[in-house]
Amino acid sequence: MQLRLDAADRLVELIEERRGPVYAEEAARRLFALRHAPVGLARSLLEEVVGDDTRLAWRGDAVGLADPPGADLALEDAPFVVVDLETTGLRPGSSRICEIGAVRVRGFELAEEFELLVDPGVPLAAAISALTGLHDAELRGQPHPSIAVRRFLEFAGDAVLVAHNARFDLAFIDRETERLTGGRLAGPVVDTVGLARRLLAGRTRRAGLASLAQFFGTEARPCHRALPDAQATAEILLQLIGLAQERGARTVADLVDLAAPRVRKVYAKRTLAFGAPASPGVYLFRDRHDQVLYVGRARDLRARLRSYFRSERQRPAVEAALFALERIEWRPMGSEVEAAIEELRLLRELRPVANARNARPDRYVYLRRRGDKLVCSQTPTPLGPIRSRARARLACRALDGASEEELERPELALPRLRARLRHLADCRRYEDAARLRDRIRALEQILNYLRRVESLRHARCCLVVPALEPGFVRAIFVAGGRVAAVRTLPRGDGARLEVEAGLAETNRGTPDHLAAEELDALLAIGTFLRRPPPELRVAPLAANEILRLAAALPPALDGEPRARPRARAA
């Protein structure tokens, strides 16, 4: 099921990239990695993907985007079914339906009603029982969720579904529908939350069901039970349809369009990401002066770049970079490990304005003794380097008044500090307790971080990953608290020469203090050592073992033909 949904998403992206219908043969080749696909075979492979997705439609022997649902259905002729669910929780994957209520709207008047209790198969939480008034005893023996959803779908028929915060209710219904039919609901859906926000902008600040019911003075009052909430939503819908008609809405498609979230302005720039490969790599956002605004890395460049234009707003600095964006440059890599190292190099060299965590080793600090306390310093010591100066200062304040032994081993101060925190709380000195709590948390985080850095400082290993060039392997040598060397291993006897050259770079001893400029790369390596991706192999610093793992390494992640670094301009 999920594979079919992913294929539909990729097909929609391909049609948008081509700016028009795509012939079935090409679509089948791209989606199913076929070298050749006759028209008959291509249509049979795509039939289920196209037929189950309302965004797609056949245009002869090509696949294109379908007309919006409800485009030919006038509002006065449209049957609506307003639905509301009560559930055991908020997540469709782990929670279940416990009540369904629905109201049919025909000719702008409320008609038949549907109400059904559902046995979720799990006990209701006390908070849910208190909120809804439902109890396990009255739900026990009621229809199973899949049976209840089947009965609701029979009641709804071909009507346009309406819900308040439709994404929540439809997620539960879709989950049960997938179990029943293997597909999701395909008809148009109207969300009264989005519709109210668009039509009532400036007139009411809240779009909750209770707030809108009070605003419109509905006869039914929401009470966290399915049928009364559906009745209130139906009355609100009729009021909103009247406002929508004043704005020129004539069809269900117009209503759905008004209810849809407003498209971000940067969505129009999504074509800049067309053509990006589905492989690891780094990417650079450039403005009209070719200045680099932002640098990032991704395991899947295509998916990551397109997410900037399809998802919710980014943090302010990245959002500003997207508004100024004129060109995206991507550089495919053989692995995510190599992409991480390249990203750090670019951050140090370019210092893009939109990157929150620019690599600035000159700002990193160490903790060192000054009299009877610890202070932040640029002088290298065993306690560092630390990237967060603010957190380091809080940790130092936590150790004010510490004993000589605690200053030498700061972890020994934690029991005393926690006892002090409990004493302040018992004395109701809450502001002092809050300040001490923040300092203790900072000290704990710094100590955990320093233990991890110390472990990496003594690490001696070789990371073996695929290279971008087919048949080649990248060997990353880690020793002496740094990335000592990165070598490309070719086929044949040349691989041993490269390995020996890399091993020669690891012969330096481990320094007493970790250099600040080596920290970021070392932490990135540590992340991959803790959670290694499938293509990564870790070898000891022994030539034969490195060569053995390199020979058995799978090819690079992306099976598509490799392209040289390229960019897409507006």
Which residues have a catalytic role annotated?
Answer: 224
Nearest of 194, 175, 174, 195 to residue 186 by alpha carbon: 174
Are 49 and 56 in contact by the 8 Å Cβ rule? The answer is: yes
The span from the CA of 416 to the CA of 337, in Å, is 42
Written as one letter, the residue type at 65 is: L
The span from the CA of 49 to the CA of 15, in Å, is 14
Place of tokens 């472990």: 455
Please tell me the number of Cα atoms within 13 Å of 329 on its side-chain side: 15
The span from the CA of 135 to the CA of 399, in Å, is 53
The span from the CA of 486 to the CA of 335, in Å, is 13
The span from the CA of 58 to the CA of 50, in Å, is 8
Please tell me the number of Cα atoms within 13 Å of 521 on its side-chain side: 26
Are 194 and 261 in contact by the 8 Å Cβ rule? The answer is: yes
The span from the CA of 304 to the CA of 297, in Å, is 9
Buried b (16+ CB within 10 A) or exposed e, 202-229: eeeeebebeebbebbebebebebbbbbb
The span from the CA of 20 to the CA of 425, in Å, is 66
Residues 6+ apart with CB under 8 A from 368: 374, 375, 377, 379, 381, 383
